[in-house]
């Protein structure tokens, strides 16, 4: 065989083998790339986007304006509420006090800045909202088991069931509140660790602060998957919930294990983790992801999921809300989905003006299944206060038992648009490699076929050239006949 032909055969075989190996190794290469790229180190590009999120995230606040607080002692009239908002703020998230530990973990705090955005806001920060007097109810609830004389003394300082303030005051600016100022100094409240504030607001003193969400310790990906939370305020188990409910576990929110039917995420504002359930696939920015929602598993009172009972802290309610009182200085705080979506009808039966809807009030996350990166995080939660009678405190002695909706928020986060092309390229590595492998294999096979065809054709031509010429026989000779003349001769 000529050297040129041999060389072409070798090239063809090499192309076929290379294409096959590239196709075979495509998923392995993606796994390796994910493992190497999702490791947090001080010098990595991942660390830059982790420490300072490049794009601000919208956060909408909705208040429930209480339209008939004067009827609270009339048992024939339900409390009526009107939703106002949204009031949109753009949230800037940063990591501060970052410490890289030798055991492959990182310790940090979270710092958040909120900037008001008129675009997306329905109303003004100067809108006035009437709402439950939560500092007063919180104090009464904490004092419900105190000495009768102490309760009577507290009763004289409580004068109103409701308060009316601007949205700005209710959120970040705060409004002067004598009880809030007094609670931080009284020995009765010492075990509740109530801050020494002179004003009350749901996000008072939080804007720009890194002290409210505690100290977090997370895996960097060196030894365990990046994003796995190890401890909060140096606790692996909090003091706020008993048993397994007090565990600090789940994701920090940066990355998840999307291989199962549930995921867990720890929320420091709630002092607990929340478990979300897989419900199907959906598409975000052209990428197919796994959708998880906050549903019955997280909101159950222990009836359907017995392991949830320790979240009740001894005060189990119908499914659909969870008790956050232990995390909120002992105040009767209960969290739910907005408008009591997915909750027992009991809650909406106590009030008027609410209308739960899946398309507006669902808490969901969409994860890219191979990397576990959130394609979409849409966190929606509602703060409710349990209004109930308290003996010896005149303001609350005759009130009905009602879960009063106060405020709900909607926070949305997606992959920054600048990072989307590179992320899609990463996910398409197997497809690109498989395509390249396929092209190489087809090229090799075609080359072999062409070479084989050329060899066969050349052989046929050579055989034709070397064959001797034969004179054509006449028809009689062809039949084996001879003439008379040939016989006589």
Of 24 and 468, which is predicted with more confidence? 24
- Mean pLDDT value of segment 343-356: 95
Q: How far apart are CA 56 and CA 404, in angstroms?
A: 31
Contact 207, 112 (CB under 8 A): yes
Domain for residue 478, yes or no?
A: no
Q: Sign of the CA dihedral 320, 326, 327, 332?
A: positive
Q: What is the pTM of this model?
A: 0.83
Nearest to 158 by CA among 188, 180, 125: 180
Confidence band of 291 (pLDDT split at 50, 70, 90):
very high
Q: Residue 481: its pLDDT value, please?
A: 47
Domain for residue 343, yes or no?
A: yes
- Mean pLDDT value of segment 106-119: 95
Domain for residue 470, yes or no?
A: no
- Token code pair at residue 414: 């997606």
Same domain, 66 and 106: yes
Same domain, 28 and 70: no
Q: Residue 271: its pLDDT value, please?
A: 93
Gyration radius of the chain over CA positions: 37
Q: Residue 356: its pLDDT value, please?
A: 96
Same domain, 337 and 437: no
Contact 427, 370 (CB under 8 A): yes
Q: Please tell me the least confidently modeled range out of 339-348, 367-376, 436-445.
A: 436-445
Same domain, 96 and 147: yes
Q: Sign of the CA dihedral 477, 479, 481, 483?
A: negative
Q: Please tell me the least confidently modeled range out of 53-62, 121-130, 409-418, 437-446.
A: 437-446
Residue 182 has pLDDT above 90, yes or no: no
> Which residues, 6+ apart, have CB-to-CB distance to 440 below 8 Å?
15, 16, 18, 19, 22
Residue 352 has pLDDT above 90, yes or no: yes
Q: Is the peptide bond before 86 cis (omega within 30 degrees of 0)?
A: yes
Domain for residue 124, yes or no?
A: yes
Q: Helix or strand or coil: residue 392? A: coil
Domain for residue 223, yes or no?
A: yes
Q: Residue 236: its pLDDT value, please?
A: 94
- Find where tokens 């607080």 sit: 69
- Token code pair at residue 28: 């392995």
Domain that holds residue 151: 56-415
Mean pLDDT across the chain, nearest whole number? 85
Q: Residue 459: its pLDDT value, please?
A: 66
Q: Residue 150: its pLDDT value, please?
A: 82
Domain for residue 472, yes or no?
A: no
CB-facing half-sphere around the CA of 289: CA atoms within 13 A: 26
Same domain, 113 and 145: yes
Of 263 and 296, which is predicted with more confidence? 263
Q: Helix or strand or coil: residue 468? A: coil
Q: How far apart are CA 272 and CA 242, in angstroms?
A: 11
Contact 97, 76 (CB under 8 A): no
Q: Please tell me the least confidently modeled range out of 141-155, 178-192, 345-359, 469-483.
A: 469-483
Q: Residue 479: its pLDDT value, please?
A: 45
Q: How far apart are CA 175 and CA 333, in angstroms?
A: 20
Q: Residue 278: its pLDDT value, please?
A: 95
Same domain, 79 and 3: no
Q: Residue 337: its pLDDT value, please?
A: 97
Q: Residue 149: its pLDDT value, please?
A: 86
Same domain, 152 and 230: yes
What is the count of structural domains for the chain?
A: 2
Residue 163 has pLDDT above 70, yes or no: yes
DSSP state of 44: S
Same domain, 178 and 316: yes
Domain for residue 301, yes or no?
A: yes
Residue 294 has pLDDT above 50, yes or no: yes
Task: Identify the top-confidence range among 11-25, 171-185, 240-254, 436-450.
Answer: 240-254
Confidence band of 25 (pLDDT split at 50, 70, 90):
low
Residue 480 has pLDDT above 50, yes or no: no
Same domain, 83 and 221: yes
Q: How far apart are CA 455 and CA 460, in angstroms?
A: 9
Per-residue pLDDT tens for 42-66?
988 888 888 988 788 999 999 999 9
Helices (H), ranges, 417-428: 420-427
Same domain, 239 and 307: yes
**Helix 429-466 crosses helix 420-427 at what angle (to 10 degrees)?**
50
Same domain, 325 and 354: yes
Same domain, 43 and 80: no
Residue 419 has pLDDT above 50, yes or no: yes
Query: What's the chain's length in residues?
Result: 489
- Token code pair at residue 387: 């209004």
């Amino acid at each position: 065989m000529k050297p040129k032909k041999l060389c072409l055969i070798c090239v063809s075989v090499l192309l076929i083998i290379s294409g096959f190996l590239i196709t075979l190794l495509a998923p392995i290469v993606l796994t390796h790339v994910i493992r190497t790229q999702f490791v947090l180190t001080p010098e990595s590009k991942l660390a830059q986007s982790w420490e300072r999120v490049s794009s601000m995230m919208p956060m909408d606040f909705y208040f429930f304006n209480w339209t008939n607080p004067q009827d609270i002692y009339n048992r024939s009239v339900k409390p009526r509420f009107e939703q106002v908002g949204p009031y949109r703020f753009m949230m800037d998230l940063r990591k501060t006090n970052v410490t890289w530990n030798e055991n492959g973990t990182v310790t940090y705090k979270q710092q958040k800045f909120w900037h008001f955005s008129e675009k997306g806001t329905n109303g003004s920060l100067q809108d006035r909202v009437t709402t439950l007097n939560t500092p007063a109810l919180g104090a009464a609830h904490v004092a419900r088991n105190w000495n009768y004389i102490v309760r009577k003394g507290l009763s004289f300082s409580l004068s109103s069931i409701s308060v009316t303030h601007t949205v700005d005051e209710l959120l970040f600016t705060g409004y002067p509140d004598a009880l809030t100022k007094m609670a931080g100094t009284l020995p009765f409240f010492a075990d509740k660790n109530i801050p020494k504030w002179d004003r009350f607001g749901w996000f008072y003193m939080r804007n720009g602060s890194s002290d409210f969400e505690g100290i977090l310790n997370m895996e960097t990906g060196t030894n365990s998957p990046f994003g796995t939370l190890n401890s909060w305020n140096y606790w692996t188990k909090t003091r706020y919930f008993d048993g397994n409910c007090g565990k600090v576990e789940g994701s920090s929110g940066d990355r998840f294990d999307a291989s199962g039917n549930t995921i867990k995420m720890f929320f420091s504002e709630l002092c607990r983790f929340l478990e979300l359930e897989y419900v199907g696939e959906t598409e975000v920015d052209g990428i197919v992801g796994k959708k998880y929602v906050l549903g019955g598993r997280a909101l159950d009172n222990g009836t359907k999921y017995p392991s949830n009972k320790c979240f009740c802290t001894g005060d189990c309610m119908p499914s659909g809300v969870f008790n956050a009182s232990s995390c909120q200085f002992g105040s009767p705080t209960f969290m739910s989905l907005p408008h009591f979506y997915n909750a027992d009808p009991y809650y909406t039966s106590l009030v008027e003006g609410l209308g739960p809807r899946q398309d507006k009030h669902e808490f969901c996350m969409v994860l890219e299944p191979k990397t576990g990166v959130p394609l979409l995080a849409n966190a929606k939660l509602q703060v409710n206060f349990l209004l109930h009678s308290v003996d010896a405190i005149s303001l609350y002695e005759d009130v009905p038992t009602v879960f009063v909706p106060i405020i709900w928020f909607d926070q949305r986060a997606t992959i920054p648009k600048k990072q989307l092309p590179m992320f899609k390229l990463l996910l398409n590595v197997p497809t690109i490699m498989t395509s390249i492998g396929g092209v190489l294999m087809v090229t090799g096979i075609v080359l072999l076929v062409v070479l084989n065809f050329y060899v066969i054709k050349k052989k046929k031509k050579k055989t034709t050239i070397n064959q001797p010429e034969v004179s054509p026989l006449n028809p009689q000779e062809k039949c084996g006949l001879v003439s008379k003349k040939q016989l006589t001769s």
